[in-house]
Amino acid sequence: MGERLASALVAEGNQVDLVDNLSRGRRDHVLESLIAARNVCFLNIDLLAPDALDRLGDDYDYVVHLAAILGVQNVLDRPYQTLRDNALMQDAAIRFARRQKGLQRFLFTSTSEVYAGSLLHLKMPIPTPEDIALALPELSEPRSAYMLSKVYGEAMLMHSEVPFTIVRPHNVYGPRMGMSHVVPQLLEKAHNAPPNTAIEVFSVEHRRSFCYVDDAVEMLKRVMVSPKARNQVLNLGREGPEVSIGCVAQVVIDTVGRPLKIQAKEPTPGSPTRRAPKMTKMTEATGYTAKISLEEGIHRTYDWYRAHVFA
């Protein structure tokens, strides 16, 4: 999502400096093509270093902070590091933002996981508005670490005295998202499965509202400059339709075009039963609603993974 947002901003003639240590990515041909643009500078910097952003200037108009330890397995394997490093990276980004002379906005990507405790303990409406009270899940559960790090990051930003917009992404998917997400995982299973067999699908009854990455990037681009989004928390995603994981698996099977069945497996531990965002505030702030259907989005995603990963 970060690379696509950067590409969109560069295409509009903006100067964009990219900061990444490539700990979870690599300089593939897509990133190299972006870096080659005359108005792009790539800086290999570790945000956890004490002097991480000291050599950068003080004349930036926007700071977009997308960096975090994320992904269910990463969080389960390293809950303490998730809590510590996500908070430290947020601190580094805020300290950098506070010394900018004319900062217009700090854009921070939080997570829809902040609603996990509310779903468990409160009568949470779905689609879920941003002003719902946030309840805490069990703190000893490793999966809670990511959600807690993002709640803390939101609070840090709210008290930082810099102009901000916080977005909470909901099930954004598309090309170049790795393999630690349900859509590419299901696509890989269906792509590799022999005809007339079954693919394993976990949490088949759990329900989500999915948002294709191009729609998410358009919202991010607009929300950065929206006066109505200043110092606001906004959901990022698609309000509907809310579909079951089993339904997503069937769309994947239809997209791959192979006679396959679904073998329902147990729910993934810690996975919320439902998740869908109320998008009224985002639409009012940006004038934009998601346009790409689940079927079209999964088709585009499969085309990319088939050409660049599965091949």
- The number of CA neighbours under 13 Å toward the Cβ of 136 is 9
Please state, as a whole number, how many other Cβ atoms lie within 10 Å of the Cβ of residue 154: 20
Domain positions in the chain: 177-210+239-311
Tens of pLDDT, residue by residue over 264-285, are 999 988 788 999 999 999 999 9
Tens of pLDDT, residue by residue over 78-129, are 999 999 999 999 999 999 999 999 999 999 999 999 999 999 999 999 999 9
pLDDT recorded at residue 268: 85
Phi and psi, residue 180, nearest 5°: -95, 35
Confidence check: pLDDT of 70 > 90: no
pLDDT recorded at residue 104: 98
pLDDT recorded at residue 22: 87
C-alpha distances in angstroms, 54 versus 45, 95, 285?
11, 10, 33
Both structure tokens of 133 = 């009270």
Say which CATH topology domain 177-210+239-311 has.
UDP-galactose 4-epimerase; domain 1 (3.90.25)
d(CA 108, CA 111): 10
- Is 237:169 a contact under the CB 8 Å cutoff? yes
Strand residue runs (E) in 5-149: 16-20, 40-44, 62-65, 105-109
